[in-house]
C-alpha cells in the first residue's frame, strides 16, 4: 500500500505531506493523510481541503461526492509511518537520531548546522519528534541530502520500536534520561531506559553520558559501538549537550564549531504590542521548515478583519535571490533573499508603520528583525504575566492520562482563566479536545465566542441579564434554583427555543448553591413539563477534596451525588452526563469520574495536595518584571513610605515597577515576601507602593538594572507566596491586575 502512496506522491509531485488541515500552504503540492487521533478526525476536513485545491488523500473511508484521488488504507497513521519507512530506505543520507528527556532539539539543531558545513543536510523541523512528527520529518528529508538529523521523542512504552523502524539511524545520541514520573507507564527506571535505548538497537554507534552506562550495557546489543561521554559535574547544560554532539559528529567526520554552540530560542511568543498590534516573535533557526510552523502559529491567531503582516529575516536554506512565497499574508517584508538589505530595513521601516494588525516577526537573535520585534512589543511594559501554553497542554494531558479515555474534561477558564487570560487558553484547550469550557459569567463566554471559540461552553453562576446573548452564543447555563429554572424556561419560550442544554447543580455538602435531594421530585416534574430545556448534565461540587483529613465528608458527598443521579435518571427517563470531581478530586477519587470531570487549578500547574498523581505538573503563569534602578545604601538607611524598613547592613537596593495596583499584595512588604533574581531570593523592603516596590539584591549574583525579577512562577512557586499571606494560590493567580500585559508562548 505504501508503494502505491509513494508512487502517487511522485506522479503528482505532491511532496508536501499534511496531517493538520490548518497548515495548508501549497494545495497543488500537498498529499493529506486523514489521521484519527484521540481528539480529532482528519476525515472531517477532506471536503474543505479538496475545495481549496488538494488532490491526493490517504484515508480510512472515502467520502461521498468529493473530487480527488483517494487511497484507502486500514489505518492512516500506520500508512504514514510505513510510507516514511520505505521513503527512508531509499535515502542515501547518513542518518543521526537524537533522543533524551531534555536537550534533543538543541543538539539536533547544532549537529545539523555543523553537518551543513560539510554537505547538504536535512533535519526534523522544530521539535517534531512524535509518532506523527517523525514520519513527517523523514518524508521531508531531501533525496540529495548527505546528512539527516532526526529527533525522536516518546510519551509511553512501546513507541520507540516504531520510531526506530522508521529512522534506522546510523548514529544515536542520548542526551540524558530523567527520573521516572508517575503516570508514565513504565515499571521502573530501568524499563524507561531500555525503551529509549531501543533507538540504538540497529545502529553503528550510540553516544551517551557515562552515568547511564549500566542501562546501555543491559539494553544495547554488543554489535553497537558504545561511546560514553564523561561530563564533569561542574558542566552546565550547554557544555553537557555540546560534548555529546561533538562526539557524535566526530563519528561521521564532522566537527562542532564553537560559534554553533549557543542557546536556542525555541519559543514562539505572542504578545500585545504597539498600536493595538499582536506580535508573534520567532527567534528559532531561520529556515523554511521553521517558517512553516511559525506561519501556522500565526494563522491560527488570525481573526476576521485583521490585517496579517509577516516580517522575515533571511532564510538560511534559501541563498537564491528568490523571496519565499507566503500565502494568506496581506503584506510581507523581506530582509535578505532579494528583499531589503538590513540597512534599508533600518532606514525605511518604523514602528509607526504598523497598527491594528497581526504581525509575525521571524529572525534569529541579533538580526534586524529580531531587534525590531522588541520595539514592536512595546517594551516599556516591563511587567508581564508570562503564560506557557505548552505547560497547559502538558497538564491537560497529565490529567487525561489519569482518566478513562471516554471521560470528558471540563476545562475551567473562569476568572479569565485563573488570571492567565481565557481566550488563548480556550483556543489551546479546544485544540486539545477538552469536552467543555466553563466560564463564570455570560460576558466571558460571549467574548470567547466573539473570538471564534466554537466548542461547548458552560456558564456557571449566571445571573443572566441578557438572554439574547446566552441563547445566541450557545452558552449552557448552570441551573441551581427553581427561580432560575423558571426564568430560563420563560425567556426561552419567548424566543421559541427548544431542547436547550442546561446543567443542573445539586448541593451535596458545599452549602453554596444548588438544588437539594428533597427537590428531586418537583424538579423532574417541571423539567418534564417543558420542551424549552433539556438536562445535559447533573453535577455537584466537593467541599473537601483537597483536605486529606476529611475524606469521610467527601465520601458522604460522593455517595449522596450517586444516589441523586440515579433518582434523576429514573425521574427524567433519559440519560445525562454526571460530574463531581475538581482537580484534587480527580487525583484522589478517580473512581468517581463518571462521564466528566472539572479541571481547574491543576490545569494551571498548581498542586494543592502533593500526592503522587499530581507530581510533574508544569508551571503555567510567571509574573515577572525588571529592575529599573539600583542604589547602594549604608546600614541604617530607611526605605520607602513611613520608614518601615531600616537597613541592618550596607545593602544594594533595587526598584522594580510592580506595585499593589498590579496585584502585588501589600502584606508582602517589609521583608515578608521575597522575589527571585538570578537564582537568589531577595526580600521586599519597605511598604509596597502603588506602582513600584524595592528589593534587597545584595546577595543576588550579577543583579543590575535590566535584570529579570520573578514574583511567582517558574522559579518561585505561587503556593510559597500564598502560604506567606495565609491564603490560597487561586487568590494570587486571579489578583494579577488586568493592566499587566499577558504574554503567551510555546516552547
Cα–Cα distance measured from residue 290 to residue 105, given in angstroms and rounded to the nearest whole number = 12
Cα–Cα distance measured from residue 320 to residue 304, given in angstroms and rounded to the nearest whole number = 35
CB of 593 to ligand PLP, least distance (A): 13
Q: Which of 196, 414, 427, 577 is catalytic?
A: 414
Q: Which is nearer to ligand PLP, 283 or 505 (CB)?
A: 505
CB of 484 to ligand PLP, least distance (A): 15
- Among the listed ranges 144-152, 239-247, 261-269, 578-586, the one in contact with ligand PLP (CB under 6 A) is 578-586
Is 706 in contact with 666 (CB distance < 8 Å)? no
Site string for ligand PLP, 219-258 (x = CB under 6 A): ----------------------------------------
CB of 609 to ligand PLP, least distance (A): 10
Q: Any contact of residue 420 with ligand PLP (CB under 6 A)?
A: no
Q: Establish whether 87 is a catalytic residue.
A: no
CB of 437 to ligand PLP, least distance (A): 12
CB of 741 to ligand PLP, least distance (A): 25
Q: Establish whether 108 is a catalytic residue.
A: no
Q: Which is nearer to ligand PLP, 312 or 733 (CB)?
A: 733
- Among the listed ranges 290-298, 362-370, 447-455, 582-590, the one in contact with ligand PLP (CB under 6 A) is 582-590
Q: Any contact of residue 598 with ligand PLP (CB under 6 A)?
A: yes
Per-residue DSSP letters for 231-298? PPTT--HHHHHHHHHHHHHHHTT----GGG-------EEEEE-GGG-EEEEE-S--SHHHHHHHHHHH
DSSP state of 353: G
Q: Any contact of residue 412 with ligand PLP (CB under 6 A)?
A: yes
Q: Which is nearer to ligand PLP, 411 or 677 (CB)?
A: 411
Is 596 in contact with 410 (CB distance < 8 Å)? yes
Cα angle, residue 565 at apex, residues 562 and 566 outer, rounded to 5°: 90
Q: Which is nearer to ligand PLP, 50 or 601 (CB)?
A: 601
Q: Which is nearer to ligand PLP, 537 or 583 (CB)?
A: 583
SS3 415: helix
Q: How many residues bind ligand PLP (CB under 6 A)?
A: 10
Cα–Cα distance measured from residue 197 to residue 215, given in angstroms and rounded to the nearest whole number = 8
Beta-carbon contacts of 421 under 8 Å, excluding residues fewer than 6 positions away, are: 387, 742, 744
* Phi, psi values for residue 80, rounded to 5°: -60, -45
Q: Which is nearer to ligand PLP, 400 or 598 (CB)?
A: 598
Cα–Cα distance measured from residue 463 to residue 700, given in angstroms and rounded to the nearest whole number = 50
Site string for ligand PLP, 179-208 (x = CB under 6 A): ------------------------------
- Among the listed ranges 367-375, 558-566, 594-602, 613-621, the one in contact with ligand PLP (CB under 6 A) is 594-602
Paired with 695 in beta bridges are: 654, 684
CB of 737 to ligand PLP, least distance (A): 21
| Footprint of ligand PLP on 359-378 (CB under 6 A) | none
Q: Shortest Cβ contact with ligand PLP: which residue?
A: 600
| Footprint of ligand PLP on 452-471 (CB under 6 A) | 460
- Among the listed ranges 29-37, 189-197, 596-604, 699-707, the one in contact with ligand PLP (CB under 6 A) is 596-604
* Phi, psi values for residue 500, rounded to 5°: -75, 130
Q: Which is nearer to ligand PLP, 470 or 601 (CB)?
A: 601
Cα–Cα distance measured from residue 115 to residue 120, given in angstroms and rounded to the nearest whole number = 8
- Smallest Cα–Cα separation from 433: which of 466, 455, 459? 455
**Interface with ligand PLP (CB under 6 A), residue from 219, 583, 619, 651:** 583
Q: Which is nearer to ligand PLP, 55 or 600 (CB)?
A: 600
CB of 583 to ligand PLP, least distance (A): 3
Cell of 581: 470531581
- Among the listed ranges 37-45, 54-62, 323-331, 598-606, the one in contact with ligand PLP (CB under 6 A) is 598-606
Cα–Cα distance measured from residue 299 to residue 328, given in angstroms and rounded to the nearest whole number = 8
Helical ranges in 304-441 per DSSP H = 342-348, 368-376, 389-402, 414-418, 422-432
CB of 307 to ligand PLP, least distance (A): 38
Is 527 in contact with 500 (CB distance < 8 Å)? no
CB of 662 to ligand PLP, least distance (A): 23
Q: Which is nearer to ligand PLP, 130 or 461 (CB)?
A: 461
* Phi, psi values for residue 408, rounded to 5°: -80, 145
Q: Which is nearer to ligand PLP, 362 or 505 (CB)?
A: 505
DSSP state of 137: H
* Strand-pair category, 268-272 with 741-746: antiparallel
CB of 608 to ligand PLP, least distance (A): 7
**Interface with ligand PLP (CB under 6 A), residue from 169, 600, 605, 713:** 600
- Quick one: which H or E segment has residue 385? strand 384-388
| Footprint of ligand PLP on 508-547 (CB under 6 A) | 541
Beta-carbon contacts of 694 under 8 Å, excluding residues fewer than 6 positions away, are: 639, 640, 653, 654, 655, 656, 684, 685, 686
CB of 436 to ligand PLP, least distance (A): 11
Q: Which is nearer to ligand PLP, 430 or 602 (CB)?
A: 602
Cβ burial of 327 (10 Å; 0-12, 13-18, 19+) is exposed
- Among the listed ranges 447-455, 576-584, 662-670, 696-704, the one in contact with ligand PLP (CB under 6 A) is 576-584
* Phi, psi values for residue 213, rounded to 5°: -50, -45
Cα angle, residue 100 at apex, residues 95 and 104 outer, rounded to 5°: 60
- Among the listed ranges 362-370, 381-389, 522-530, 581-589, the one in contact with ligand PLP (CB under 6 A) is 581-589
**Interface with ligand PLP (CB under 6 A), residue from 127, 582, 614, 621:** 582
CB of 558 to ligand PLP, least distance (A): 14
* Strand-pair category, 680-685 with 693-696: antiparallel
- Among the listed ranges 137-145, 314-322, 547-555, 599-607, the one in contact with ligand PLP (CB under 6 A) is 599-607
- What is the four-CA torsion angle of 164, 168, 172, 177, rounded to 10 degrees? 0
**Interface with ligand PLP (CB under 6 A), residue from 152, 413, 601, 626:** 601
Q: Which is nearer to ligand PLP, 370 or 537 (CB)?
A: 537
Per-residue DSSP letters for 138-169? HHTS-TT-SEEEEE---SSTTHHHHHHHHH--
Cα–Cα distance measured from residue 405 to residue 38, given in angstroms and rounded to the nearest whole number = 8
Cell of 545: 477534596
Site residues (CB under 6 A) for ligand PLP?
A: 412, 460, 541, 582-584, 598-601
Active site residues: 414, 641
Amino acid at each position: 500500500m505504501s508503494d502505491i502512496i509513494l508512487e502517487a506522491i511522485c506522479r503528482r509531485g505532491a511532496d508536501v505531506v499534511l496531517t493538520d488541515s490548518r497548515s495548508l500552504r501549497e494545495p497543488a503540492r500537498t498529499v493529506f493523510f486523514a489521521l484519527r487521533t484521540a481528539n480529532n478526525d482528519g476525515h472531517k476536513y477532506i471536503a474543505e481541503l479538496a475545495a481549496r485545491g488538494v488532490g491526493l488523500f490517504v484515508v480510512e473511508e472515502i467520502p461521498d461526492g468529493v473530487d480527488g484521488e483517494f487511497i484507502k488504507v486500514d489505518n492512516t497513521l500506520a500508512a504514514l509511518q510505513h510510507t516514511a519507512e520505505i521513503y527512508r530506505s531509499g535515502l542515501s543520507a547518513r542518518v543521526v537520531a537524537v533522543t533524551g528527556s531534555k536537550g534533543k532539539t538543541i543538539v539536533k539543531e547544532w549537529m545539523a548546522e555543523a553537518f551543513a558545513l560539510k554537505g547538504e543536510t536535512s533535519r526534523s523541523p522544530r521539535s517534531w519528534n512524535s509518532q506523527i512528527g517523525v514520519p513527517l520529518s523523514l518524508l521531508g528529508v531531501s533525496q540529495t541530502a548527505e546528512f539527516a538529523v532526526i529527533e525522536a521523542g516518546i510519551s509511553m512504552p512501546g513507541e520507540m520500536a516504531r520510531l526506530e523502524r522508521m529512522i534506522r539511524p546510523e548514529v544515536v545520541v542520548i542526551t540524558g534520561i530523567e527520573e521516572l514520573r508517575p503516570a508514565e507507564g513504565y515499571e521502573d527506571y530501568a524499563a524507561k531506559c531500555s525503551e529509549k535505548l531501543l533507538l540504538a538497537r540497529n545502529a553503528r554507534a550510540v553516544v551517551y553520558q557515562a552515568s547511564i552506562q549500566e542501562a546501555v550495557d543491559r539494553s544495547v546489543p554488543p554489535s553497537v559501538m558504545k561511546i560514553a561521554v564523561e561530563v564533569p559535574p561542574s558542566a552546565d547544560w550547554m557544555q553537557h549537550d555540546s560534548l555529546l554532539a561533538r562526539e557524535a559528529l566526530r563519528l561521521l567526520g564532522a566537527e562542532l564549531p564553537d560559534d554553533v554552540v549557543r542557546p536556542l530560542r525555541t519559543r514562539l511568543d505572542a504578545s500585545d504590542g504597539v498600536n493595538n498590534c499582536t506580535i508573534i516573535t520567532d527567534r528559532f533557526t531561520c529556515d523554511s521548515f521553521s517558517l512553516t510552523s511559525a506561519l501556522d502559529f500565526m494563522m491560527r491567531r488570525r481573526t476576521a478583519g485583521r490585517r496579517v503582516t509577516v516580517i522575515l529575516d533571511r532564510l538560511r536554506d534559501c541563498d537564491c535571490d528568490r523571496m519565499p512565497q507566503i500565502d494568506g499574508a496581506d503584506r510581507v517584508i523581506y530582509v535578505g533573499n532579494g528583499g531589503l538589505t538590513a540597512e534599508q530595513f533600518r532606514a525605511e521601516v518604523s514602528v509607526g508603520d504598523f497598527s491594528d494588525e497581526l504581525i509575525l516577526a521571524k529572525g534569529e537573535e541579533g538580526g534586524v528583525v529580531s531587534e525590531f520585534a522588541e520595539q514592536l512589543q512595546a517594551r516599556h511594559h516591563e511587567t508581564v504575566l508570562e503564560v506557557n501554553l505548552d505547560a497547559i497542554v502538558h497538564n491537560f494531558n497529565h490529567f487525561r492520562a489519569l482518566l478513562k479515555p471516554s471521560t470528558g474534561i471540563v476545562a475551567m477558564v473562569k476568572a479569565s482563566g485563573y488570571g492567565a487570560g481565557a481566550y488563548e487558553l480556550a483556543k489551546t484547550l479546544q485544540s486539545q479536545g477538552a469536552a467543555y469550557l466553563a466560564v463564570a459569567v455570560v460576558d466571558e463566554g460571549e467574548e470567547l465566542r466573539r473570538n471564534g471559540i466554537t466548542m461547548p461552553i458552560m456558564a456557571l453562576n449566571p445571573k443572566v441579564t441578557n438572554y439574547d446573548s446566552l441563547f445566541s452564543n450557545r452558552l449552557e447555563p448552570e441551573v441551581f434554583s427553581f427561580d432560575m429554572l423558571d426564568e430560563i424556561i420563560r425567556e426561552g419560550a419567548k424566543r421559541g427555543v427548544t431542547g436547550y442544554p442546561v446543567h443542573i447543580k445539586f448541593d451535596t455538602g458545599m452549602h453554596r448553591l444548588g438544588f437539594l435531594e428533597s427537590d428531586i421530585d418537583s424538579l423532574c416534574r417541571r423539567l418534564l413539563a417543558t420542551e424549552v430545556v433539556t438536562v445535559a448534565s447533573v453535577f455537584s461540587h466537593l467541599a473537601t477534596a483537597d483536605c486529606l483529613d476529611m475524606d469521610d465528608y467527601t465520601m458522604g458527598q460522593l455517595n449522596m451525588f450517586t444516589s441523586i443521579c440515579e433518582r434523576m435518571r429514573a425521574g427524567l427517563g433519559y440519560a445525562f452526563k454526571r460530574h463531581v470531581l475538581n482537580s484534587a478530586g480527580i487525583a484522589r477519587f478517580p473512581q468517581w469520574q463518571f462521564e466528566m470531570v472539572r479541571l481547574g487549578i491543576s490545569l494551571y500547574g498548581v498542586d494543592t495536595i502533593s500526592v503522587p498523581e499530581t507530581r510533574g505538573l508544569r508551571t503555567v503563569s510567571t509574573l515577572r518584571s525588571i529592575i529599573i534602578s539600583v542604589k547602594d545604601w549604608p546600614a541604617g538607611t530607611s526605605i520607602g513610605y513611613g520608614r518601615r524598613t531600616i537597613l541592618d547592613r550596607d545593602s544594594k537596593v533595587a526598584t522594580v515597577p510592580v506595585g499593589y495596583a498590579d496585584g502585588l499584595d501589600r502584606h508582602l512588604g517589609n521583608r515578608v515576601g521575597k522575589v527571585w533574581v538570578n537564582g537568589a531570593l531577595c526580600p521586599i523592603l519597605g511598604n509596597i507602593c502603588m506602582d513600584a516596590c524595592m528589593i534587597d539584591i545584595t546577595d543576588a549574583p550579577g543583579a543590575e538594572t535590566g535584570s529579570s525579577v520573578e514574583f511567582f512562577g517558574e522559579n518561585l512557586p505561587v503556593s510559597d507566596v500564598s502560604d506567606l499571606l495565609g491564603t490560597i494560590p487561586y487568590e494570587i493567580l486571579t489578583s494579577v491586575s488586568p493592566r499587566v500585559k499577558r504574554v503567551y508562548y510555546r516552547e
